[in-house]
Amino acid sequence: AAVMAGKRGALIVLEGMDRAGKTTQCKKLVQALQQSNRPADLITFPDRTTPIGQQISAYLKSDTDFEDHAVHLLFSANRWEMVPLMKRKLEQGVTLVVDRYAFSGVAFSSAKQGFSMDWCRNPEVGLPKPDLVLYLQLSPAEAALRGQFGDERYETSAFQKAVKQNFEQLLKDSSVNWQVIDASQSVEDVHKDITDRSHKAIIRAQSLPLGELWK
Ligand code: Z5A
């Protein structure tokens, strides 16, 4: 059978602090792309449905404990286990909209005592490289207006402050196509901003090979 010389989909990641609106915007973006006849799928990390993801979910709910390095590697393994599926979809021309990725992995774990960013980045090296990483920027004060912290592990203001500083460090990495979004706007305005940038990234990705992160 003839191989379709199809154009690959784009890998688009949304990152940002707690309550910045990542999940809301990922869903709206997938819907908007599908409605404009661009195949698109949503991927969420952690993916709590796999055996590894169930371990992570139990950890986040404080139902289980893991040694800090071990749980970092679980979050990373949870991404690697999705890579074959992600590559298949991208090759088929499906754009993937990803709710958190390696950047959350690094920003959260390196907020812990004794963890360097370098150590945290290592297991993520070589993952499919996003064509676009949208950082939904929201101040802690504005996040607080959207409700209280949840009761999962990491949802405390001291820890989140360290996470925010780590994200700001990661934003300086010019090997990654970061674009900062003002997440304090209305849901619709943020959505419009994100869809415009995503359409451009999709066009650009069609003529570029998929890269490898931090490699
Ligand atoms: N974690 C990690 O340590 N290592 C890793 O590798 C990964 C993750 C991948 C669980 O993640 C934890 O795992 C997380 C990081 C860590 N710990 N923390 N914190 P998660 O993705 O499951 O986290 P979450 O708690 O589900 O997401 P979130 O950050 O809290 O929320 P969000 O997705 O950014 O926001 P949202 O759910 O779309 O919106 C939050 C609320 O604001 C909601 O009521 C919305 O209706 C409202 N909202 C949204 N947009 C707006 C605007 N524009 N205006 C007003 N109100 C809005």
Q: From the CB of 155, is ligand 1 less than 6 Å away?
A: yes
Ligand 1 site-directed mutation target among 29, 80, 104, most atoms within 8 Å of CB: 104
- Residue 65 forms part of a structural domain: yes
Mean pLDDT confidence for 192-203: 98
Give the integer Cα–Cα distance in Å for 52 and 15. Answer: 21
Residue 144 has a CB neighbour count (10 Å cut-off) of 14
pLDDT tens digit sequence for 96-139:
999 999 999 999 999 999 999 999 999 999 999 999 999 999 99
Q: What's the distance, Cα to Cα, between the start and end of the chain in Å?
A: 35
Q: What are phi and psi of 143, to 5 degrees?
A: -65, -40
Ligand 1 site-directed mutation target among 14, 23, 185, most atoms within 8 Å of CB: 23
- Residue 179 forms part of a structural domain: yes
Residue 2's pLDDT is what? 46
- Residue 129 forms part of a structural domain: yes
SS3 percent helix, strand, coil of the chain, rounded to 5, is: 45, 15, 40
Domain that holds residue 192: 11-212
- The ligand 1 atom at the shortest distance from the C-alpha of residue 45 is 9
Share of the chain above pLDDT 70, in %: 98
Mean pLDDT confidence for 175-181: 98
Cα–Cα nearest to 197, from 8, 21, 14, 6: 14
Q: Which two tokens stand for residue 4?
A: 């379709």
- Residue 140 forms part of a structural domain: yes
Centroid of ligand 1 to alpha carbon of 99 (angstroms): 9
Cα–Cα nearest to 11, from 95, 120, 102: 95
**The domain that contains 20 carries what CATH number?**
3.40.50.300
Q: In the predicted model, is pLDDT for residue 1 greater than 50?
A: no
Residue 103's pLDDT is what? 99
pTM: 0.97
Q: How many domains does the chain have?
A: 1
Q: Check if the beta carbon of residue 100 is closer than 8 Å to that of residue 207.
A: no
Give the integer Cα–Cα distance in Å for 190 and 96. Answer: 19
Q: Check if the beta carbon of residue 124 is closer than 8 Å to that of residue 102.
A: yes
- Residue 2 forms part of a structural domain: no
Give the integer Cα–Cα distance in Å for 172 and 177. Answer: 10
Q: From the CB of 15, is ligand 1 less than 6 Å away?
A: no
Q: From the CB of 59, is ligand 1 less than 6 Å away?
A: no
Q: From the CB of 24, is ligand 1 less than 6 Å away?
A: yes
- Residue 175 forms part of a structural domain: yes
Q: From the CB of 135, is ligand 1 less than 6 Å away?
A: no
Question: Which residues in 54-63 are b (16+ Cβ under 10 Å) and which e?
Answer: ebbbebbeee
Residue 6's pLDDT is what? 81
Mean pLDDT confidence for 73-99: 98
Least confident of 29-38, 79-88, 112-121, 147-156: 147-156
Ligand 1 site-directed mutation target among 14, 17, 19, most atoms within 8 Å of CB: 19
Rg, C-alpha atoms of the chain? 17
Collapsing DSSP to helix, strand or coil, 146 comes out as coil
Please report, as a single letter, which amino acid is at residue 114: G
Residue 5's pLDDT is what? 60
- Residue 205 forms part of a structural domain: yes
Residue 201's pLDDT is what? 98
- Residue 97 forms part of a structural domain: yes
Higher pLDDT, 6 or 214: 214
